[in-house]
Amino acid sequence: MEKKWWQSSVVYQIYPRSFQDSNGDGIGDIPGITSRLEYLADLGVDVIWLSPIYASPNDDNGYDISDYQAIMPEFGTMDDFDRMLEKAHSLGLKIVMDLVVNHTSDEHRWFREAQKSKNNPYRDYYIWRDPKPGMTPGTPGAEPNNWGSCFGGSAWKYDETTGQYFLHLFSKKQPDLNWDNPKVRDEVFNMMTWWLDKGVDGFRMDVISLISKPEGLPDGVANNTGFAGFDQCSTGPRLHEYLQEMNRRVLSKYDIITVGECPGVPMEEARQYANLEGTELNMIFQFEHMASDLDPAAGRYGESKLNLPLLKAILNKWETGLQGKAWNSLYWDNHDQPRAVSRFGNDSDEWREISAKMLATCLHLMQGTPYVFEGEEIGMTNCPWNSLDEINDIESRNNIAQNLKKGIIREDQVLGILRRQSRDNARTPMQWDAGENAGFTTGTPWLRINPNYTRVNVADQVGREDSIRAYYKQLIALRKHSDLIVYGDFELLEPESESVFAYVRTLSSERMLVACNFTDQMVSFEIPEEFRDGKRLIGNYEASGDGKVLRPYEAYAVIVP
Ligand code: ISL
Ligand code: CA
C-alpha cells in the first residue's frame, strides 16, 4: 500500500465561534485562532479543520453559507484569513476548510435570484416542486412528499411568490442545491479551486452523502415524528459519479486531505467513497458508533446508556472491513455531539482525567486518521444547562419543541436531554484558563461557559506532566514514529466483554496489545502470554498493574518484540 501523509496525521477541529475571541465581542474569531496556533503546533497535530468561517446569517452557525468566497464579518476579514494561513503553514500546520455544498443559505445570491421567478436562470440551482394536487398550497399535507427536516418539521417550504415548494433537508434557511444541474457542479468546483489555489490544504465535506437525491423524490417510511428521515437521500443514484467528477476536475490536481461527512452510510459503501485507489475521497466520517449509546426507538434525544459490546462490534466492523480497501477516520467528539468524556467515559472529578486518557488511548491506537475536537485534549465535559433559554443550537431547540408538541417527550425530561445530548455541549467556549470567562473573551460570551472551567482548563494542563493534554501529546507523537500504529492490522479481543475494550495490532512481526477498561470498577483481564514481557508504550496509570486486572478506566498499550 502506498503511504500517504494524511494517514499518519492527526487532525484538530476548531469551532471558530467558540475557540478564542480577540476583540471582546464574545465571539471567537480568526485573529483569535491565529494567536493560538503555537498551542496547536505544540500539541503535535498536523492539520486543523475549521468549521465554516464564510459569510452566513448564522441560522445554523455558519453551516448556512451566503457567500462561499467571503469571510463572516464577525470572524474577521480575508486578510485575517490569509495571515492565519501563512502562520499555520510556517508552523507546519495544514488548514482544512469545511465545504458545505449540499445546501446554501436562503440569503445566498443564487437563492435570492432563484426565488424571483420560475424562469430565473438560477431557479434550477435548487429543488422546486408543485404542491400535491388537490391540496391547499402551504397547508400540512400539500408538501410534495413526506420528507422531514433534520431540524424538525417538513423538509419543504412553500414559497408564495412562485407557488412552489423548495427542499431543505436542514433548516428552512438552508435550501438544498440541485447537484443534477451541471451549472451547480461547475460553480462548486470553481469555488473549491479558488480556495485550493489560495493554499488551503483540503476539505471536510458537510453531509456530502446527501447531494444526489433519488429519482422522483419518492415518499419514505415515516418515523414517530410523522416524517421520513433523510435515509432515502443517502448515497443517491449519482453520488459516486459526482464525487468522481469532483475528484477528476479538482481534488486530483492537489496534494490535499479530504474527508466526507456521511451520516447513515454503511461500511460496504464506504469502501467505495474512501477507496485506496483515490478516485473519490480520502476518508469519511461514519456515524454508527455515535448510536451505540442510544435507544433506537427513542433516537438522539431519548435516554442513553453505552452498550460496549455494540460499540466494539461497530468499530471492529469498520476497522477490519476497510482494511486494505479504504481508509478510516477516527473520532469520539465533534461540534454535533455531546462531549465524549461525559458520554463514553466518566466526567466526575474523580475519573475525568483517567477516563479521558482511556478514551484517547482506545481511539488513537486504532487504524485510521484520528480527529481531536477542541477541548477534548483537556477533557472538557457536557454543560449543566439550567434551561432551554441557554441553548443556541437550532437542532436541539427545534427537535425538543417538536417532540414536546407531539408528546414524544415530557417537559420534565427536557433538561436531562439537553445535558446529555444537545450539540451545544460541544460548543461551549474553549477553557483556556481559570480567569474571567475562561480566557475566551473579555466580553460576554455568545454561549454559556461551562462552570467547571476553574478546574478544567489549558493553563492548568500545559506543563503538568500527568495532564490529559500531555497524554494526547504523547499519543500523537507515538503515531509519528510507528508504522505499526498507522498501518497495522486490527484484531478485536473479547468481543462479548461488557467492560473491556481490547485489541491487537499487527505489522509483520511487530504486535501491539491495547487494553481499556470502560468502567469505574476493577475488572479482570489476563494479559495474553505473548505480551507478558512486552514493552509498555503508554498507559494512564503511573505503573503497570499485575497483568491480571485492569484498574478503573485503566488503559495501556504493550508492544512486542
Ligand atoms: O449529528 C447529527 C445527528 O447525529 C446531526 O446533528 C447533524 O446535523 C448531521 O450529522 C449533519 O451535520 C452537518 O450538517 C448540518 C450542520 O448543522 C452540522 O453542524 C454539520 O456537521 C447542516 O449543515
Ligand atoms: Ca470576536
Amino acid present at 324: G
CB-CB neighbours of 425 under 10 Å: 27
| The pLDDT of residue 26 is above 90 | yes
Residue 264 within any structural domain of the chain: yes
> Which residue from 50, 206, 209 has its CB within 8 A of the most atoms of ligand 1, so it is best to mutate?
206
Q: What pLDDT is stored for residue 438 in this prediction?
A: 98
Same domain for 412 and 340, yes or no, is: yes
Q: Determine the Cα–Cα distance for residues 61 and 52; give it in Å rounded to an integer.
A: 8
- Domain final position from 419, 449, 475: 475
Task: Indicate whether residue 205 lines ligand 1 (CB < 6 A).
Answer: no
Residues 501 and 289: their CA atoms lie apart, in Å, by 14
Query: Is 350 contained in some domain?
Result: yes
CA torsion 252→255→257→258, rounded to 10°?
-10
% the chain with pLDDT above 90: 93
Measure CA 468 to chain center.
Answer: 21
Q: Read off the pLDDT of residues 417-430 as tens digits, 9 standing for 90 and up.
A: 999 999 999 999 99
Same-domain pairing of 206 and 259 = yes
Q: Where residue 301 falls among pLDDT bands split at 50, 70, 90?
A: confident
Indicate whether 274 belongs to any domain: yes
The response to whether residue 59 sits with its C-beta less than 6 Å from ligand 1 reads no
Strand order in the sheet with 535-539: 489-493, 500-507, 510-517, 555-560, 535-539
How far is the centre of ligand 2, averaged over its atoms, from the C-alpha of 288 (Å)? 35
Same domain, 535 and 387: no
Is there a single domain that holds both residue 266 and residue 393? yes
- Active site members: 206, 261
Instruction: Check if 424 has its Cβ closer than 6 Å to any atom of ligand 1.
Output: no
Contacts of 413 (CB under 8 A, 6+ apart): none
Half-sphere exposure of 169 (CA within 13 A, CB side): 28
Using the Cα atoms of residue 450, residue 444, residue 421 and residue 501 in order, give the sign of their dihedral.
negative
Residue 455: the pLDDT is 97
247-271 b/e (C-beta count within 10 Å ≥ 16 → b) = beebbeebebbbbbbbbbbebebbe
Model confidence at 281, in pLDDT bands (50, 70, 90)?
A: very high
CATH of the domain at 345: 3.20.20.80
Q: Give the model's pLDDT for residue 297.
A: 74
d(Cα 388, Cα 78) in Å, to the nearest integer? 35
Query: Is residue 463 scored above 90 in pLDDT?
Result: no
Is there a domain that residue 520 lies in?
yes
Cα(396) to ligand 1 centroid in Å equals: 11
- Tell me: do 232 and 294 sit in the same domain: yes
Joined together, the cell numbers standing for residue 397 give 431547540
More confident residue, 373 or 402: 373
* Residue 526 DSSP one-character state: P
Answer whether residue 190 is part of any domain. yes
State which amino acid sits at residue 195.
W
Instruction: Please give the mean pLDDT across all residues of the chain.
Output: 96
**What is the model's pLDDT at position 225?**
85
Strands, sheet with 156-159, edge to edge from the N-terminal-most edge strand? 128-129, 164-167, 156-159
Among 443, 475, 507, which residue terminates a domain?
A: 475
Q: Which of 509, 514, 507, 561 is nearest to 3 (CA)?
A: 507
Q: Tens digit of pLDDT for each residue in 318-366? A: 999 999 999 999 999 999 999 999 999 999 999 999 999 999 999 999 9
Evaluate: CB of 63 within 6 angstroms of ligand 1: yes
Residue 45 lies in a domain: yes
* Nearest bound ligand to the CA of residue 286: 1
Same domain, 402 and 543: no
CA distance 238 to 212: 6
State the CATH number of the domain containing residue 541. Answer: 2.60.40.1180
Note whether residue 99 is domain-resident: yes
Query: Which residue's alpha carbon is at the smallest distance from atom 23 of ligand 1?
Result: 63
> CA 261 to CA 51: how far, in whole Å?
12
Torsion angle of C-alpha atoms 89, 90, 92, 93, degrees rounded to 10: -40
CA dist., res. 337 & res. 353, Å (int): 20
pLDDT 10s digits, 179-219: 999 999 999 999 999 999 999 999 999 999 999 999 999 99
- Does residue 363 share a domain with residue 447? yes
Q: Name the grid cell of 176.
A: 438544498
525: containing domain: 488-560
Q: Which of 449, 475, 501 is the last residue of a domain?
A: 475
527: left (phi over 0), alpha (psi -120 to 50) or beta: beta
Residue 299 has pLDDT above 90, yes or no: no
550 beta partners: 523
Model confidence band, residue 459 (pLDDT cutoffs 50, 70, 90): very high
Which amino acid residue places its CA nearest to atom 15 of ligand 1? 63
Using the predicted structure, report yes or no on whether residue 112 has a pLDDT greater than 80: yes
Strand partners, 97: 50, 203
Confidence of residue 173 (pLDDT cuts 50, 70, 90): very high
Q: Span 525-531, mean pLDDT? A: 96
> Are residues 361 and 230 part of one domain?
yes
Q: How far apart are the first and last CA of the chain?
A: 23
**Do 352 and 454 fall into the same domain?**
yes
Q: What is the mean pLDDT of residues 160-183?
A: 98
Same-domain status, 463 and 495:
no
Residue-wise pLDDT tens digits, 387-398? 999 999 999 999
Is the Cβ–Cβ distance between 342 and 381 less than 8 Å?
A: yes
- pLDDT at residue 137 in the model: 96
Count of structural domains within the chain: 2
Residue 4, classed as helix, strand or coil, is coil
On whether both 514 and 462 belong to a single domain, the answer is: no
How far is Cα 471 from Cα 154, in angstroms, rounded to an integer? 46
For residue 409, what pLDDT is reported? 87
- Single-letter amino acid, residue 452: N
Does the pLDDT value for residue 300 go beyond 80? no
Question: What's the average model confidence in pLDDT over 429-451?
Answer: 98
Q: How confident is the model at residue 442 (pLDDT cuts 50, 70, 90)?
A: very high
Q: What share of the chain is helix, strand, coil (3-state, %, to 5)?
A: 35, 20, 45
Looking at the CA of residue 290, tell me the nearest atom of ligand 1.
4
**Closest atom of ligand 1 relative to the 151 alpha carbon:** 8
Residues 70 and 186 in one domain: yes
169 pLDDT higher than 90: yes
- At 524, which amino acid appears? S
Q: Is residue 468 part of a domain?
A: yes
